Amino acid sequence: MTKSLPKLVLSASRDIPFSQLVLSQKNVRRVKSGLSIEDLAEDIYRRTLLQSLNVRPMLDEHGNPLGMFEVPAGGRRFCALELLVKTGRMHRDQPVPCVVRETGSAEEDSLAENIMRVGLHPLDQFRAFRALIDAGLSEDDIAARFFVSVSTVRQRLRLASVSPALLDVYGEDGMTLDQLMAFSVTDNHVRQQQVWDQINQASHAPAYYIRRLLTEDAISSSDRRVRFIGVETYLAAGGDVTRDLFSSDEEGWLQDPALVEQLVTAKLEQQANALRAEGWKWVEAAVDLPYGCENGKRRISGQTVDLTDDEQDRLQALGARYDALGEEYGDVIELPEEVDATLASIEAEIAALTCRPVVYAPTDMARAGVFVSLTHTGKLRVEKGFARPEDEGSAQSQDPGSFSGGTVPASGGPSEHDPDADRDKVRALPDRLISELTAARTVAIRDALAQAPLTAFLALLHALCLSVFRFNTHAGCIQIAVTQVWLGTIAPDLRETGWSKSVQQRHDHWAERLPDDTSCLWDWLAGLDTDEQMELLAHCVSLGANALVEPVKGHEGRVSAHAVAQRLAAADLLAAHLDLDMARTGWAPTVGNYLGRVPKPKIIEAVREARGDEAAALITHLKKGDMAREAERLIEGAGWLPEPLRVAHHGPSAEGSGIPASIEDGPEDVRAELPIAAE
């Protein structure tokens, strides 16, 4: 016969005056966490004590009750009641509901009460908040009553936008809270369910990926176009912004891309019209301008406006004030707020005074133009003073050899040149004789130059500077030039890359330093120290680098194919010598630059090479768009590069010709067509 289990007997419950209670030193809670004692006291004062204290009678050394009770479990509630007594909001003899324990240990009771409790599930919290809202309470009322922030209440209430079916999935632990919160970015329950059905096949879909799927037709508020026009302008124009539980009031997704483009175009055109009103001949305005759009155009320098006497005095006074504060608080680790604010104000005013406007001559503006675009942060980029070759002829007074719009002496000055007069002098001798004499002079120059390496280096640098910084001049006698390949129409977004910005900054630096008059260029180059000459040479040479793979067309395709092969082989050798790693310099595969533009097998191959077969298997079931986005996440940080960006290591070239062995070892009829200089 089965022995019956003993029946449970609950501990006795009774009301004990607060004055007979003391906090037990056996309470296991030592670290402060959760609601503060002050907030808990406010809550008890508002709705009374909702949970009894756990107490034990205090005994003397003989085991006799002393009439006092210690509180081993419920210490925070005891402290909150004690605070109410101290502040006069509760009588000291107020009866307190208590559960009296006499068996077991006090430490065990305290530990069990703290461990066995379960926090309210977020979904239950949401439903409770919604019930209170339906009962007439405001979000502020709920936040005040439960001592949470208003944003927390709003976040929980935002879950109302999530499909009830997904709420049930979450309630059954079918998804994480982060995933559920990500679905709140849209109110479209059908789309939410579609995305869940899509990602539920994978082992785990991060919250950001869910948001991306739900907002792929929207524009993030961090987009530079949105920063340019401002979310307020978009909302005022009737646009709609959605936000999820992760988003602050400044974040979100703009649901009307067409409206964004319209507002951006209108604001850019407004800026362009203002520049045209200044007198510029043309203005090109776009969110992105093609890389190298300024190439082939001469940069005209403006005149920086000097400081007035009053501005100069003000600048000196600001500098003295700034230095005085710096000395006074030089040893202070943390500046007082008012001093810090004063220094920031002085810095701002100094920056405003020293950042001087640049003015251009009306005649220069009448034949030149301006490029207007957006930076990656949404700031307006305005680049003034670019003269197109077709507009140069209209300005007869412009020195054809100038770099940046230098002035031309008046008629009769030392720089005046009459080519017709020179031709009249030359015609005094027979053309044949002139050719023979100048041929002899050319050979003599070549012989002398070959024996003067430093002068040859200077002549090379002079010729390269003319070809790089002055496109339409033919003033150099050394027939060497840098042939640049313009890449703007091939990859328009190159303008925003770090490489492009570095090249442009370096080019602008040298363009500003070079003399306006090309007749002074030689002496200026000769005056540079060796290091600067080498830096300038490296910049000029770098602009001629061409590793571009171009489609071969036409009847000369065979010859062109070999020429391209030679050039690319040389580019590989150069990249290897530079130890160039595209991943290390910042290139990474994204949906826009690679993964979204290749077929699915290539995407899977990329993931497999970067992360292995297991990672590749995770995306095989996805549609191409989703596959590309997930592949971007998986490959991130792996340093993987597609084949065209890897450095190919060729074998040694035949007899030092500089031609890769793979080409040199080809058939004779092929090698005969290669444009080898030695032939």
Structure tokens at 393: 């002829």
Model pLDDT, residue 302: 80
Model pLDDT, residue 291: 66
Q: Judging by beta carbons within 10 Å of its beta carbon (0-12, 13-18, 19+), is residue 248 exposed, middle or buried?
A: exposed
- Give per-residue pLDDT as tens, 419-463: 554 444 444 566 666 666 666 666 666 666 667 777 777 778 887
Residue 620's SS3 state is: coil
Residues facing 17 on adjacent strands: 95
- Give per-residue pLDDT as tens, 83-99: 999 999 999 999 999 99
For the chain, what is the mean pLDDT? 76
Residue 71 CB contacts under 8 Å (≥ 6 apart), including other chains: 21, 22, 23, 24, 27, 53, 54, 55, 78
The Cα 482–Cα 507 span in angstroms is 14
The Cα 46–Cα 29 span in angstroms is 25
Q: Range with the lowest mean pLDDT among 291-305, 602-616, 658-672? A: 658-672
Residue 371's SS3 state is: strand
Model pLDDT, residue 443: 64
Q: Range with the lowest mean pLDDT among 68-77, 190-199, 453-462? A: 453-462
The Cα 389–Cα 368 span in angstroms is 10
The better pLDDT of the pair 112, 257 is held by: 257
- Record the pTM: 0.42
- Token pair 């003993």 is found at 6
- Give per-residue pLDDT as tens, 310-328: 888 888 898 888 888 878 8
In this structure, which topology does domain 122-260 adopt according to CATH?
Answer: Arc Repressor Mutant, subunit A (1.10.10)
Element containing residue 69 per DSSP (H, E): strand 65-73
Cα-Cα end-to-end distance for the chain:
112
- Token pair 């009306």 is found at 362
> Do the bridges between strand 241-242 and strand 21-23 make them parallel or antiparallel, or are there none, so unpaired?
unpaired
Backbone angles phi, psi at 445, to 5 degrees: -65, -45
The Cα 300–Cα 536 span in angstroms is 21
The Cα 525–Cα 219 span in angstroms is 50
Residue type present at position 237: A
> Do the bridges between strand 298-299 and strand 219-220 make them parallel or antiparallel, or are there none, so unpaired?
unpaired
On the question of pLDDT at 277 being above 50, the answer is yes
- Give per-residue pLDDT as tens, 371-388: 998 887 888 988 888 888
List the chain domain ranges: 12-115, 122-260, 263-392, 566-672
CATH 3.40.50.2300 fits 12-115, yes or no: no
Element containing residue 299 per DSSP (H, E): strand 298-299
